[in-house]
Structures are given as structure tokens and as C-alpha cells.
Structure 1
């Protein structure tokens, strides 16, 4: 009977440890999702800035005439 109680307690402790690990994995998963969203946002910002730079370069190479200039 004592051996059975030891096994039950060992299983109980393992269950508690596994539950704690599961909770920690959920937290890691949430952190990874948050990082994924942040990376998506930063990628959008970089793409937008690159587009702005390209537009600026094209404008510098081929400036539009001022209102007072003849074309």
C-alpha cells in the first residue's frame, strides 16, 4: 500500500510540473505571436519608407516644372 501511495504522489508531482510547463509554453507562444505581429508592422514601415525613398529619387531625377516655368 505504501508503494502505491508513493506512485500516486510521484504522478501528482509530475502532473503539477507538466501543468507548469504547459503554462510556460503558452506564454512563449503568446510572445512569439506578438513578435510576429511586430515584425509584420516593421516590415510594412520599411516597405513604406523604401517607397518614399524611390519616389524622392525619381522626383530628383525628373523634377516637375514650377508653375512659372515654360515647358
Structure 2
């Protein structure tokens, strides 16, 4: 899914896409890859498919990357 990552003020920090990566163990991880090629890894997806925990980890990684909270992910065409 194509997405834009925006700050609280509306500044677009990055564009890219969400992806699900398969770990060697078979577990699935939610990640974001910028158009520039940087991959920001989130958490593991629950075996039942719930992505709540995985997305919380991904947003913590966004904070580490851009030093901002209140980041918004918006689906784009």
C-alpha cells in the first residue's frame, strides 16, 4: 500500500509503502520502505493477523527515525 508519512504540522516526511516481510522463522513483520529505499522495521504481526502490536512498534521506529510524535500515515494513490 502506497503511503505518505506526515508530521503533526502536515509536512510530508516520506513517501513509500507498507510491506509485510517474512522472517526466517516464518513470522510476519510489518515494515515501511521509503521511496529512497530505507526500510523501517515494525513489530511482528500476531499469528491471528492482528497488526495492533506491530503498528505500535512501527510508530516507535518512526519516532526514532524522525524524532517526532503524532505522525500520520495516509494511503495515497
Same fold (TM over 0.5): no
Structure number with the bigger relative contact order (C-alpha 8 A, sep ≥ 6) is: 2
Whose helix fraction is larger, Structure 1's or Structure 2's?
A: 1
TM-score (norm 1): 0.26
Structure possessing the higher radius of gyration over alpha carbons: 1
Whose strand fraction is larger, Structure 1's or Structure 2's?
A: 2
